[in-house]
Amino acid sequence: MQRSKSLIIGLISLVLIAVLVVILLLKDSSELVSIKQAQELIESNPPQKIIFDRDYLYFDIQDKRYRVNKESVLPMVGYLGWDFPIESKNERMKGEMIGELGILIVILLGLAVLFQAFKMIFNKNKDASPKKVASSHFDAPSPLSSLEQSNNDALVHSPLSSSVTFKDVAGISEVKEELFEIIDYLKNTKKYQDLGIKLPKGVLLIGPPGVGKTMIAKAVAGEAGVPFFYQSGSSFVQIYVGMGAKRVRDLFLRAKSKSPSIIFIDEIDAVGKARGNTRSDEREATLNQLLTEMDGFEDSSGVIIIGATNKIEVLDEALLRSGRFDRRIYVELPDLNEREHIFEVYLQGKSHRLDVKEVARLCVGFSGAAIASLVNESALNALRRKSPVIELEDILATKDKVLVGKKKRLSFSEKEKEILATYQSAKALSAYWLEVDFDKISLIADSFKEIDKELVSKTELVNKIKVALAGNIAVEMMHHQIFSNAQEDIAKAKEIATQMCEQYGMAERLMTDSSDILVILESAKKEMSEFLSDSKPALMKVAKHLLAQERLSKEEIKTLIDDAFER
């Protein structure tokens, strides 16, 4: 509003100046003299010529203009003896006035434009200061902020040229097969249209964080050689009503203008959550606009939408129906071979002495992003050791920190260390005996591997429950007390038992309740108590060495257990 007022005031001022200039040009500034005075002036200093208009005769003497009444002078020109030329002034005056007035108006307009331009630049720089940006979140949007918002939208919606290909993305062999026909469609759109083939309008990538969903979308764009529009779902969620829908509309318009192209919406659950309940009108309007745009695509548009989420259960059903996200691709955590391939990619150019297959075997549950972080952290650990190469000890030193974060270590008393040694040794002993794989054991942490396969037997799940309960059973048996350090393991054992009953049908009854879960837990506890009671010598030997060294590898534990049972 303020800017509009300034513009109106400027235009009015410009018009007033122009009128004033016209008045000044039209005003006659010459001195009126009588015939006698004119005769005296001309005789003393004859002019070159005399110019007359409708009313007066004009002549210039010594840089001053005089005028005399034309009607009284013209009849006496011959008598006065004026022999210099007398010219008419009417036509020439009009041309001069129009020309001078036009030049002046152009100059004034130019100055006004320059003034406004400098003013806008100054205001823009002023508004871009940190103080102004900080306060803009609380103020109503001004026209200038709306203009800046439009400029920001243009930048956000600018297409990217992806240089990523499937060679750069390791560990997604099954996903690649699903996407190859999408790539071929983008490369040869006309071929599919001529055959009447309609490919999915949308592809939804589903998987846990860090598995490479964004990289996959970039690789599709890179392989197809088409523009790539990236947008996060949260960027559509605006505090101003209508802004989210506008951004969706602008994004799709730009993508259509650059077709064939790819729109990638990361974390689409931020904008695509189910409508109703506590959702705001602005969020619903944004989702409705997204649904409308996806429906509005013509078959010839050549635009593919790729969405990514790890929370498909919260998405609105309308977003998942046929004709929108027709194809869903599940991107799982990499298996052993895929992890090995990913490690090879990230270890390129780095000096190391690693058995890549063995390292990949140690990293069950790692995503591609976690493996990248692990390699980098291991390189930093090698640097701290002043070693020029990455070794297995660097991987083992940083693996847990990358996967679950580095926990703050408290100082323990000698009695607490004995309890922890007993607890961890019981878990290691039972895991070794029940063939639950692990890497190492320490006073305050363990490194049990998740089962890296699709089908898991009831025996394997029960063994995991036994390992989780082993530490608490051993501490109670050796120290005649139960301590609070078993919290996570008890919760894990309950979770596995619940899954066995409610999801896998492994209880004695298919229609289960809490009593079935209790039967599994109590049975595992009883069997584990008997085993540890019979294995006290091995348990005490492992606990003694763990208390002294604070960390034991699986091979060291095997040696200690074999030695204890041989005696």
Encoding tokens for residue 307? Answer: 């969405």
pLDDT band at 14 (very low <50, low <70, confident <90, very high): low
Long-range contacts of 155-160 (CB under 8 A, 24+ apart): 156/231, 156/235, 156/247, 157/229, 157/231, 157/247, 157/250, 157/251, 157/254, 158/254, 159/227, 159/228, 159/229, 159/254, 159/255, 159/258, 159/261, 160/221, 160/227, 160/228, 160/229, 160/230
Q: How far apart are CA 233 and CA 266, in angstroms?
A: 6
Length of the chain as a residue count: 567
Encoding tokens for residue 532? Answer: 């540890």
**Mean pLDDT computed over every residue of the chain:** 76
pLDDT tens string 365-393: 788 888 888 999 999 999 998 999 999 88
Q: How far apart are CA 170 and CA 164, in angstroms?
A: 12
Please tell me which residue, 71 or 388, carries the higher pLDDT value: 388
> Domains of the chain: which residue ranges?
2-95, 166-330, 336-404, 414-566
Asked if 271 and 244 count as a contact pair (C-beta separation under 8 A), the reply is: yes
Identify the top-confidence range among 159-163, 209-213, 412-416, 498-502. 498-502
User: 350: buried, middle or exposed (CB in 10 Å: 19+, 13-18, 0-12)?
Assistant: middle
Cβ density class 123-135: b for 16+ within 10 Å, e for less:
eeeeeeeeeeeee
For the cut 70, the answer to whether the pLDDT of residue 15 exceeds it is: no
Q: Does domain 414-566 have CATH number 1.20.58.760?
A: yes
Q: Which residues contact 537 (CB under 8 A, 6 or more apart)?
A: 564, 565, 567
Q: What is the mean pLDDT of the segment spanning 259-280?
A: 77
Short-list 312, 332, 331, 328, CA closest to 204: 328
pLDDT at 99: 54
pLDDT at 139: 36
pLDDT tens string 308-328: 888 888 888 888 877 788 788
Q: How far apart are CA 17 and CA 11, in angstroms?
A: 10
Please tell me which residue, 464 or 322, carries the higher pLDDT value: 464
pLDDT at 461: 92
Q: Which residues contact 232 (CB under 8 A, 6 or more apart)?
A: 265, 266, 267, 270
Identify the top-confidence range among 249-253, 320-324, 361-365. 249-253
Q: Which residues contact 75 (CB under 8 A, 6 or more apart)?
A: none
- Run of H or E including 368: helix 368-384
CATH number of 336-404: 1.10.8.60
Percent of the chain, pLDDT > 90?
Answer: 17
Q: Outline where DSSP puts E strands in 394-506.
A: 438-442, 446-448
Q: What is the mean pLDDT of the segment spanning 345-359?
A: 89
Comparing 37-41, 239-243, 297-301, 474-478, the range with the smallest average pLDDT is 297-301
Q: Which residues contact 563 (CB under 8 A, 6 or more apart)?
A: 541
pLDDT band at 408 (very low <50, low <70, confident <90, very high): very low
Residue 482, sorted as left (phi over 0), alpha (psi -120 to 50) or beta, turns out to be beta
pLDDT band at 169 (very low <50, low <70, confident <90, very high): confident
Q: How far apart are CA 168 and CA 216, in angstroms?
A: 10
The residue written with tokens 């003034």 in the block is: 115
pLDDT at 286: 80
Asked if 179 and 329 count as a contact pair (C-beta separation under 8 A), the reply is: yes
Residue 176: HSE in the Cβ half-sphere, 13 Å Cα cutoff: 11
* CATH value of 2-95 in 3.40.50, 1.10.1740, 3.30.420, 3.30.720: 3.30.720
Radius of gyration (C-alpha) of the chain in whole angstroms:
44
User: 102: buried, middle or exposed (CB in 10 Å: 19+, 13-18, 0-12)?
Assistant: exposed
Please tell me which residue, 269 or 497, carries the higher pLDDT value: 497
Q: Does domain 166-330 have CATH number 3.40.120.10?
A: no
Q: How far apart are CA 564 and CA 423, in angstroms?
A: 18
Asked if 120 and 10 count as a contact pair (C-beta separation under 8 A), the reply is: no
pLDDT tens string 32-49: 777 777 777 777 777 766
Q: What is the mean pLDDT of the segment spanning 326-342?
A: 83
pLDDT band at 407 (very low <50, low <70, confident <90, very high): very low
DSSP 498-543: HHHHHTS--SS-SS--HHHHHHHHHHHHHHHHHHHHHTHHHHHHHH
pLDDT tens string 80-136: 556 666 666 654 454 455 556 656 666 776 677 667 766 766 665 544 444 333 333
Please tell me which residue, 69 or 181, carries the higher pLDDT value: 181
Q: Report pTM.
A: 0.51
SS3 232: strand
Tell me, rounded to whole angstroms, the distance of Cα 33 from its chain centroid: 84
Encoding tokens for residue 355? Answer: 């058995």
Asked if 333 and 208 count as a contact pair (C-beta separation under 8 A), the reply is: yes
SS3 129: coil
pLDDT band at 469 (very low <50, low <70, confident <90, very high): very high
For the cut 80, the answer to whether the pLDDT of residue 72 exceeds it is: no
